[in-house]
Amino acid sequence: MRLNAFLARAGVASRRRADELISAGRVSVNGARGELNTVVGSRDVVAVDGQRVAAQPLAYVLLHKPAGVVTTARDPQGRRTVVELVPYTPRVVPVGRLDADATGALLLTNDGPLAHRLAHPRYGVEKVYEVEVGGVPNEDALRKLRAGIVLDDGMTAPAGARVLERGSRSSLLELTLHEGRKHQVKRMCDAVGHAVRRLHRSRYAGLDLKGLELGEWRDLTGDEVVGLRRTSTA
C-alpha cells in the first residue's frame, strides 16, 4: 500500500496529514527517506521521527452522530469531533461528511482504501436522509429533486424524493442520494424553495441505526463489512 495509507492504517495521522509528514522528511522506510509515491510491503520497516510504527488491525464502526459535532478527525476551532465520540483503538476516522448540525448514520474506519472507494462518486453509495423542510413541496418540486438540480458546482445526480409527512408549515421528506457534495441536501432543498430545518441521515450504504441512541456506536459485523466491500466494487 502507499506510504500515506500505511501511516493512516497505523493510526499516525490522516492521509492528508501523513502526506505532510512525508514531505517534511519525517518518515523513513527501511532507513531511507520516504516519498509520497513510496509503496510499503509487509516486510518493510516504517518509522516516524525515528520511531517504528506498524499497521493496526482493520476496524469498522457505525456511529449515531448527534448534532453539534463536526465530522472530522481534528478541528482547528476546537469543536468536538466525531472521533472524540469513538474512543477506539485502533484509531478510526470518518468516511465522507455529515453537516455539523445534522444527525444520523456515520461510518468510521481505518481501512483507507475502502473509505476512499465509499466516498468516490463512481460507486454511487446510497445515502438516505429524513429532511424537515419549511412549507409543503408540490409535485413539481419533488420532480425536480428526482431529476437533478442545477447547483453552482453542476447538476446533481438523480435522487429519490418522497413526502413522509405533510404539515401546515413544514413537511418531512425522504431523500435518497448517490453522491456526497458539501451541504448537498440543504442546497437542493433551497433550490426548490424549501429551506431545511432539520437533517437526519437514516441509512448509509445499507446500514441503519437500529438499536443506537444518539452518540452511541457499534462495531460492524463481518457480513456488513463484506457488504460494504461489495457495494464499493460493483
We report the CATH number of the domain holding residue 45 as: 3.10.290.10
SS3 52: strand
> Are 192 and 147 part of one and the same domain?
yes
Residue in 44, 49, 75, 99 annotated catalytic = 99
For the chain, give percent helix, strand, coil, nearest 5: 25, 30, 45
The verdict on 114 and 211 lying in the same domain is: yes
153 and 197 belong to one structural domain: yes
If asked whether residues 176 and 156 sit together in one domain, one would say yes
Query: To which residue does cell 453537516 refer?
Result: 99
Q: How many residues would you count in the chain? A: 234
Taking CB atoms within 8 Å and a gap of at least 24, the contacts of 71-75 are 71/96, 71/97, 71/98, 71/99, 71/100, 71/106, 73/14
Taking CB atoms within 8 Å and a gap of at least 24, the contacts of 9-18 are 9/55, 9/56, 9/58, 9/110, 9/111, 9/112, 10/46, 10/53, 10/54, 10/55, 10/56, 11/56, 11/89, 11/90, 11/91, 11/110, 12/48, 12/53, 14/73, 14/93, 15/112
Closest by CA position to 48, among listed 110, 16, 90, 6: 6
Of the candidates 53, 76, 92, which is a domain's last residue? 53
Which range marks the domain in which residue 171 is found?
126-204
Q: What is the CATH number of the domain that holds 115?
A: 3.30.70.580
Q: Provide the whole-model pTM.
A: 0.82
Number of folded domains in the chain?
3
- What are 158-167's contacts with CB under 8 Å, separation 24+? 159/188, 160/128, 163/136, 163/137, 164/130, 166/136, 167/136
Same domain, 101 and 216: yes
110 and 210 in a single domain? The answer is: yes
138 and 111 both lie in a single domain: no
Same domain, 139 and 192: yes
Task: Per-residue pLDDT tens, the chain, 234 aa: give them.
Answer: 899 988 987 878 878 889 999 999 999 999 999 999 999 998 999 999 999 998 888 999 999 999 999 998 888 888 999 999 998 877 888 998 899 999 999 999 988 889 888 988 888 999 999 999 999 999 999 999 999 999 999 999 999 999 999 988 999 999 999 998 999 999 999 999 999 999 999 999 999 999 999 999 999 999 999 999 998 876
Which CATH number fits the domain that encloses residue 192?
3.30.70.1560
Q: What does residue 118 show for φ and ψ, rounded to 5 degrees?
A: -60, -35
Would residue 223 show up in a list of annotated catalytic residues for this protein? no
Q: Are 78 and 110 in the same domain?
A: yes
Among candidate residues 105, 107, 101, the one with its CA nearest the CA of residue 68: 101
Q: Are residues 130 and 176 in the same domain?
A: yes
Q: From CA 39, how far away is CA 68, in angstroms rounded? A: 38
State whether 216 and 198 are in the same domain.
no
Quick one: 12 and 112 in the same domain?
A: no
